[in-house]
Amino acid sequence: MNKHSAEREQLDGIGVSPGIACGKAFLHISGFPEYKEEIVLEEAIPQEIDKVKRAFEQTSHDMEHIKTQASDSESKDLTGVLDAQILIVADPEFQNQVIDKIECMQYSAIFAFTSSVNDNIEMLSRSKDPYMREMVADIETVSNHILKHLLGERHKELTGFSEPAILFASYFNPGEILEMPNLNVTGFVTEKGGPTSHMGLFAKSLGIPAVVAVRANLKQIPSGSRIVVDGNKGIVIVNPADDEWEEYQKISHARREARFKRFEQIHELPSSTRDSHHVEIMANLDLPTSLDEILAHEHVGIGLYRTEFLYLKRANFPSEADQTKVYYDIAKKFAPQNVILRTFDLGGDKLTDYFKSEFEINPALGWRAIRFSLDVMPIFEVQLRAMLKASTLKNVSIMLPLITTLDEVQKAKRLLEKIKKDLHEEKAAFDEDIKFGIMIETPAAVMIADYLAEEVDFFSIGTNDLTQYTMAVDRNNKRVAKHFQVFHPAIIYSIKKTVEAAHKAGKPVGICGEIAGDPLATKLLVGLGVDSLSMNPASIPVVKGILPKIGFEEALKFSQKILKLTTEKEITETLMKDFKESNLNNSLNKKGELKNA
Ligand code: PEP
Ligand code: MG
């Protein structure tokens, strides 16, 4: 390839994920580096060995986390790939090889590790067995992960692109691919990989066109070049001619539009039952996604903004100014709709590298969410200040996660009042009447909901955690997944009790757990009296399509009938039966999507 040429060039590879993607080239460096030989003092050997052990341990933990993310997303069937990578980290021979080099040769942890990995890669690359050669990509993925821990650095995260980007690399690991839809990456191209490589499986399930095993030196493609990825034909066109570029762009836009079409005009669908009982339909937001613009355009508010994702992506806590900007940008984008910013739900399995707690046997019951915030007041104060400063458009609300005691709410409120006073003195603008609410996601909060309701402006029920804590089932543990029963009578009763407590105090109550986006649950939740449902954006057209088919009085009676049932099985069966009999299923196609959308 001619480095400086803007001439059209076609690269051949293997199309592993169909579709056409157009965008600007961006080179993402990966592969596995080599380090210079480094000898350590004899006394330092135990310390170097310890570093290696810890890096392997942290990587196993990270990979399990990525696997959970994959099984939560549409990539469910792909966890097998991650299982293979987890096995590589767990292989004692891999770790022993590195430790032997430290003990026998007095190599530093980093040199012992990188030289072992490079030896293994070289050996496997020379193998005649294609399966062994394909293992190289998995070993590189895992080894890069371990290396980052050894170096004590954060992952070199990809950041979002302002225009559609096509990423080029030697290969991509699963975590990187899962991130792509959130970063405006529309396609990717790699040097390595084969027809069955994990990259294709992940790309396909996320709908990202991809071509792998391209026979070219990708490093020579200038960043910013126009690129077309044709995942159907397995070709990549660099610098297509103008008319060809336009043609391909049309095809790729049509594809994107088909995805967005389901969201068009959803604001024209009434957010109420057929007898005009209003229920607000809102979106849960984690990282910025390509759907943000359309959600904002369709007047959807944000019922849950998980701010901890902002923290997890960075090498240190973001400053007050950084946070204010992020929160304000979201508030502005969605104004005048309401945006509920949840204070960070850090801790448990969501810990940052720069703020690690001690190992916890039971992290879900540990130092998490509001407990963490109240213990690290200066950080909490910065976050609350940023939220207040971002509230000048008067559409921001603040919400606290994982409340179990009245005291937690009162402490946070006192801090908020102090900050308001400080901001007055500093003459900084903010919304004096900012709404302050809490999540109801523990049985303790349900039980004292009457008292809590007096203290706050609103409730939002987090049924994911409420189910975890009520049913005593780890929400991330596949083995006990069948016990994670969101339609268990205890959960339905908890929702009823929470709604009653809120309404008795004249406060609104929403739901932002996954149940809010389940079409099977819509009638029941409306009947239980919830005022808003905040969900995964993909569920919004479905639930908004169902709502006008429900009568409020009928939903009320239906919920009373459900509340008399004693098992999860009976409740689920009754919901399904009614769903069919009320013809609610008529609005959905076989994939659970809204018909004619
Ligand atoms: C919940 O627990 O239901 C919830 C919405 O919060 P998260 O899923 O972020 O814990
Ligand atoms: Mg929760």
- Looking at all shown ligands, the one closest to residue 512's CA atom is 1
Hey, which of 287, 441, 475 would you mutate to test ligand 1's pocket, going by the most ligand atoms within 8 Å of its Cβ?
441
Ligand 1 close to Cβ of residue 306 (< 6 A): yes
- Looking at all shown ligands, the one closest to residue 309's CA atom is 1
Q: How many residues does the chain have?
A: 597
- Residue 348, pLDDT score: 64
What's the CA-to-centroid distance between 150 and ligand 2, angstroms?
32
The residue nearest atom 10 of ligand 1, judged by CA position, is 465
Ligand 1 close to Cβ of residue 572 (< 6 A): no
Ligand 1 close to Cβ of residue 512 (< 6 A): yes
Cβ pair 176, 154 in contact under 8 A: no
Ligand 1 close to Cβ of residue 464 (< 6 A): yes
Encoded tokens for 292:
């943000």
Question: Which atom number of ligand 1 is nearest to the Cα of residue 514?
Answer: 3
Contacting residues for 566 by C-beta, under 8 A, at least 6 apart: 489
3-class secondary structure per residue, 361-400: CCHHHCCEHHHHHHHCHHHHHHHHHHHHHCCCCCCEEEEE
Ligand 1 close to Cβ of residue 347 (< 6 A): no
Locus of tokens 């130092």: 367
Locus of tokens 């009162």: 410
Question: Which atom number of ligand 1 is nearest to the Cα of residue 304?
Answer: 5
Ligand 1 close to Cβ of residue 441 (< 6 A): yes
What's the CA-to-centroid distance between 304 and ligand 1, angstroms?
9
The residue nearest atom 3 of ligand 1, judged by CA position, is 462
Locus of tokens 């991509």: 172
Hey, which of 350, 365, 464 would you mutate to test ligand 1's pocket, going by the most ligand atoms within 8 Å of its Cβ?
464
Locus of tokens 């210079």: 36
**Residue from 160, 175, 398 nearest 292 by CA:** 160
The answer to whether 198 is a known catalytic residue is yes
Neighbours of 14 (CB within 10 A): 18
Ligand 1 close to Cβ of residue 345 (< 6 A): yes
Rounded Cα distance between 85 and 197, Å, is 13
Question: Which atom number of ligand 1 is nearest to the Cα of residue 284?
Answer: 5
The residue nearest atom 6 of ligand 1, judged by CA position, is 462
What's the CA-to-centroid distance between 537 and ligand 1, angstroms?
15
What's the CA-to-centroid distance between 402 and ligand 2, angstroms?
7
Ligand 1 close to Cβ of residue 308 (< 6 A): no
Rounded Cα distance between 542 and 520, Å, is 11
**Residue from 113, 172, 200 nearest 148 by CA:** 113
The residue nearest atom 1 of ligand 1, judged by CA position, is 462
What's the CA-to-centroid distance between 442 and ligand 1, angstroms?
11
**What is the dihedral angle through the alpha carbons of 370, 371, 372, 377, rounded to the nearest 10 degrees?**
80
Strand partners, 10: 237
The one catalytic residue among 28, 198, 267, 278: 198
Rounded Cα distance between 146 and 137, Å, is 14
Strand partners, 553: none
- Looking at all shown ligands, the one closest to residue 308's CA atom is 1
Cβ pair 106, 39 in contact under 8 A: yes
Ligand 1 close to Cβ of residue 501 (< 6 A): no
Cβ pair 445, 404 in contact under 8 A: yes
- Residue 356, pLDDT score: 57
Among left, alpha and beta (phi > 0; psi -120 to 50; other), residue 503 is alpha
Question: Which atom number of ligand 1 is nearest to the Cα of residue 401?
Answer: 6
CA distances (Å), 356 to each of 312, 316, 373, in order? 11, 12, 14
Rounded Cα distance between 427 and 441, Å, is 36
Ligand 1 close to Cβ of residue 204 (< 6 A): no
Question: Which atom number of ligand 1 is nearest to the Cα of residue 460?
Answer: 5
Cβ pair 305, 340 in contact under 8 A: yes
- Residue 420, pLDDT score: 98
Ligand 1 close to Cβ of residue 86 (< 6 A): no
The answer to whether 512 is a known catalytic residue is yes
What's the CA-to-centroid distance between 470 and ligand 1, angstroms?
14
- Looking at all shown ligands, the one closest to residue 284's CA atom is 1
Cβ pair 100, 39 in contact under 8 A: no
Longest dimension (CA), the chain: 80
- Looking at all shown ligands, the one closest to residue 461's CA atom is 1
Each residue's pLDDT expressed in tens, for the chain with a length of 597 residues = 444 447 899 999 999 888 899 999 987 755 576 777 788 888 889 989 999 999 999 888 888 877 776 665 545 556 777 888 888 999 999 999 999 999 998 898 988 998 899 888 888 878 878 777 778 878 888 888 888 788 764 334 445 677 889 999 888 876 677 678 767 888 999 988 777 666 776 677 567 899 998 988 887 888 789 999 999 899 999 999 999 999 999 988 887 777 667 777 788 888 999 999 999 999 988 766 657 777 888 899 999 998 887 776 565 778 999 999 999 999 999 999 999 999 998 876 565 555 555 667 788 898 889 999 999 899 999 999 999 999 999 999 999 999 999 999 999 999 999 999 999 999 999 999 999 999 999 999 999 999 999 999 999 999 999 999 999 998 766 578 789 999 999 999 999 999 999 999 999 999 999 899 888 999 999 999 999 999 878 788 888 989 999 999 999 999 999 999 999 999 999 998 998 888 776 555 544 445 543
What's the CA-to-centroid distance between 367 and ligand 1, angstroms?
16
